[in-house]
Amino acid sequence: MSGDRFGTYDHGFVMPPVPPMPSAPPPGPADGVRAVAVAVLNLSGLGLGYALARKWVLTVLCWAATAVLLFVALPADPDGVPGLALVLYALFLAAAAAHGARVGLRTRLAWPPQAPLALGLGLVLLAVPAGGFVLYDDARDEAVEQMLLDRLADADALVASAGKGSFTAGKSEYREALRIYEDLSDDHSGSRAAAKVPGRLRAYYESVGAPYAQDDYCAAIAPLTYLRTVPDTLDGTDLGDLESWPDDRLATSLYECAADGLTTGQATWTSQFGELLTGFPGSEQAAKVEPAVAAAVTRTQKELRGSDPCSAVERLNTLGSQIDGLPTEGADTADALGKQADRATGSADSGTYTCGVDQYRDGDFEAAQTTMKKYVADHKSAKNAALAKKIVIAAEIAETVPAAGKKLPTTRSGGSIEVTVQNDSPDAVTVMYTGPVTGSFSLKGCGSCKAYPLLSTTVRGFEPCSDSGKNYPQRTISLPPGTTYFLHKPQGDSTASPASDTAKLQSGYIYTECAYTTTSGLSGL
């Protein structure tokens, strides 16, 4: 029996072929136009040459480089893009163009199919970086404008801050603001900020000169003087009427401040009037100086009849010296002011007598002597000279006997009562007397006389000038009834002290005054 035979049967199964994966087209023949097209497309900074050649990693690298540049460049800064970033980016584009040319030489483009068309597209796309450069330059110009406007705002803020206080306190801020205005005007003349400078300068002038607008004339002098220097600082700027803006205001401030100081007695008026007369000699304000000075002299002259004539004399003397020292530009002004100086000094001279009388009446006898002696020396022929001499005598007596100074002496002379004054002293003496009549005379020393011991003069019955054997120097004067005060004063080098005596004279009597010396001083009886 034949056995069954078992076997296997292989059914054949054939797998279909797997299609190849897509890949870059095989290198083609070298194409110079295509190479240039890829290079030019890469110069746009967008890596389009690499993209059309399907070099995606390199495309992304171009995008990244351009993004970094944009990050550095934007927003636009007045200083522009840093130079290093521009150099590196330019080198990168040059490298991308050179490498793109190498790639495009044998690599077919995905689009467009024709190399000349790709080159034309690349050339058109070069407008992208060029347009970006133009736009960036405009943006940078605008950033510069904004920066300059910010600087202008900073200067305005400085002016506003300085205007809140005094000119002295804000002067540094004013100077810094002016420096900014000058820089904008000179170095950025075509900018929008520079176009606003003239308007800002008017506000600047008004802020600096604000004390004048507030009628604070003394405080206005320094800022207005400063404003006159501004044209020198802004020599390239047309200031228009601002150039002369401070002049009339300064002249007015100088006059008003000086006139007020002249009235109140402040010494600064001379420098202010002097600056007015030399700086603005032909001005309306300068023409008012002489009348103001004349009025001040007249006011002070009237004070001679007031309660303090001595102060008026001092002020007149000072006023005369101050007027005489004023600088002038014209002969007419100098002559007019010279007359006022002479008037002030002359009034002071004549007022010296009034001052001496006032000192005498106030009991300041020492000062009255000094004043009247000066008056007599300077006015020998004046009508009051004779009385001034008698006041000197009375004041000296009143220093020892205050009661003698209760009444002002007169020029009266003589009387009905004879008074004989003898000198029983070895020293020459000056005999002064005041009362109804005032006068003085001298007696020679008694050659045979000596000083009496002080104790001997206290003994009862002591009588000087009683030695009949001596020839006492003497003089007889005639006085009216009333109280007369005598003062005997030694002359020369004598160390004896003055002596005084008070005599109540009555008609029908003959009086004798005796001057003698004790060991302790000069005495009289």
Q: Give which of 185, 159, 154 is closest to 172, Cα–Cα.
A: 159
Q: Which residues of 222-259 are buried (b: 16+ CB within 10 A; e: fewer)?
A: bbbebbeebeeebeebebeebeebbeebbbbbbbbbbb
Note the pTM of the prediction, 2 decimals: 0.67
Q: 281 with 292: CB under 8 angstroms?
A: no
Helix axes 217-227, 245-264, angle to 10 degrees: 150
Kindly state the tokens that stand for 464.
């000087």
What is Dmax (Cα atoms) for the chain? 226
Helical residues (DSSP H) of 43-126, grouped into ranges: 48-52, 56-73, 83-106, 115-125
In this prediction, residue 152 carries a pLDDT of 87
**DSSP letters spanning 305-352:** TSS-HHHHHHHHHHHHHHHHT---SSHHHHHHHHHHHHHHHHHHHHHH
In this prediction, residue 102 carries a pLDDT of 66
Residue found by looking up tokens 């020029």 in the block: 411
Q: 506 with 479: CB under 8 angstroms?
A: no
Helix axes 331-361, 385-400, angle to 10 degrees: 40
Residue 163: φ, ψ to 5°: -70, -10
**What residues does 516 pair with on adjacent strands?**
424, 523
Helix (H) or strand (E) holding 490: strand 482-490
Strands of 24-158 (E only): list them: none
Q: How far is CA 196 from the centre of its chain?
A: 30
Residue 355 CA to residue 361 CA, distance in Å, equals: 10
In this prediction, residue 232 carries a pLDDT of 86
In this prediction, residue 120 carries a pLDDT of 61
**In Å, what is the CA distance from 138 to each residue of 75, 128, 148, 179, 369?**
12, 15, 15, 28, 93
Residue 214 buriedness (CB in 10 A; 0-12 / 13-18 / 19+):
exposed
In this prediction, residue 57 carries a pLDDT of 74
CA angle 259, 260, 263 (to 5 degrees): 90
CA angle 66, 39, 132 (to 5 degrees): 35
- The 499-505 sheet, strands edge to edge: 439-443, 429-434, 482-490, 499-505
Local structure of residue 452 (DSSP, 8 states) = B
In this prediction, residue 215 carries a pLDDT of 95
In this prediction, residue 94 carries a pLDDT of 77
Residue 169 CA to residue 164 CA, distance in Å, equals: 9
In this prediction, residue 360 carries a pLDDT of 96
Kindly state the tokens that stand for 518.
């004790």
CA angle 490, 357, 418 (to 5 degrees): 50
Residue 359 CA to residue 382 CA, distance in Å, equals: 20
**In Å, what is the CA distance from 368 to each residue of 176, 439, 502?**
61, 17, 22
Which residues neighbour 29 within 8 Å (Cβ) at sequence distance 6 or greater? 106
**What residues does 41 pair with on adjacent strands?**
none
Residue found by looking up tokens 């060991």 in the block: 519
Q: 515 with 431: CB under 8 angstroms?
A: yes
In this prediction, residue 468 carries a pLDDT of 84
Residue 297 CA to residue 150 CA, distance in Å, equals: 57
Print pLDDT tens along the chain (525 aa).
344 444 444 444 444 554 554 445 555 556 556 666 666 766 766 666 666 667 677 777 777 877 876 666 666 455 555 667 667 767 767 776 677 656 665 666 655 655 565 556 656 666 666 555 555 555 566 667 778 888 889 999 999 999 898 999 999 999 999 999 888 888 788 888 888 888 899 999 999 999 999 999 999 999 999 999 998 888 777 788 899 999 999 999 999 999 999 998 888 999 999 999 999 998 999 999 999 999 999 999 999 999 999 999 999 999 999 999 998 877 788 899 999 999 999 999 889 999 999 999 999 999 999 999 999 999 888 899 999 999 999 999 999 999 999 999 999 998 999 999 999 999 899 999 999 999 999 999 998 999 888 888 778 878 899 888 899 999 999 999 999 999 999 887 777 788 899 999 999 898 999 998 887 655 554
In this prediction, residue 319 carries a pLDDT of 94
In this prediction, residue 12 carries a pLDDT of 46
Q: Looking at the chain, how many residues does it have?
A: 525
Q: Give which of 255, 262, 258 is closest to 281, Cα–Cα.
A: 255
CA angle 92, 97, 102 (to 5 degrees): 125
Kindly state the tokens that stand for 36.
């240039």
Residue 497: φ, ψ to 5°: -90, 150
Residue found by looking up tokens 């009388």 in the block: 357
Kindly state the tokens that stand for 119.
């080159």
